Amino acid sequence: MAHTYTRLLVHVVFATKRRAPIITAEFKPALYAYMVAIFKNHDCFVHAIDGVADHCHVLIDLPARFALADVVRKVKANSSKTFRENYPEVGFGWQRGYGAFSLSAGHLQQVREYVLGQEEHHREHSLNEELERLLKIHGFVGDPEFIEGVGDE
C-alpha cells in the first residue's frame, strides 16, 4: 500500500509473573536489549524502554501491518523462554496480560520521559497506583486481577 501512512504510538506496560522483583540492575540491560531486538524484528521503532524490578514500560511506533497483541505476545514469550533458559536461577516470566495505551505525537516526548524516569517515579508511587492512574486516564475501570497481579499462576 504505497499511499498508506500511519503513526501508531503505543505505551505498553507489563509486569513480571507474581510481580516478582527479578529485573535486577545486572539483568535489566540484557533483557531490555533482547526485547528491543524482538520489537525491531517486527519493524517497531522503540522510543524508550525502562522499568523497575517488577515491571517494564515500552514506548513504540507500531507499523500498520502488525497487530499489537501479536507483537507483545512474541516479545513476552520469546524473552521469557530465552531468559528462563539462560538464567534458570532467576525463574523469569511475565504476568498474563498487559496494558497498552495509544498517544498522540504531541505527547511523545512527555511519555518518553515518563518511561525513562521509572526508577525515580517508583520511589514515590507503587505499581498498583501507577496502573490505576493509567487505566483511569484512558477511561478504564481497573480490574483487580490486572492491578494487583493475581491470577497469573
Residues 19-72: tens digit of each pLDDT: 899 999 988 999 999 999 999 999 999 999 999 999 999 999 999 999 999 999
Residue 102 has pLDDT above 90, yes or no: yes
Fold for the domain defined by 8-147:
Alpha-Beta Plaits (3.30.70)
Q: Which of 60-74, 87-101, 126-140 has the highest mean pLDDT?
A: 60-74
C-alpha distances in Å from residue 55, one per residue of 8, 58, 96, 133, 137: 23, 10, 12, 16, 19
Predicted model pTM = 0.88
Q: Of 113, 118, 145, which Cα lies nearest the Cα of 13?
A: 118
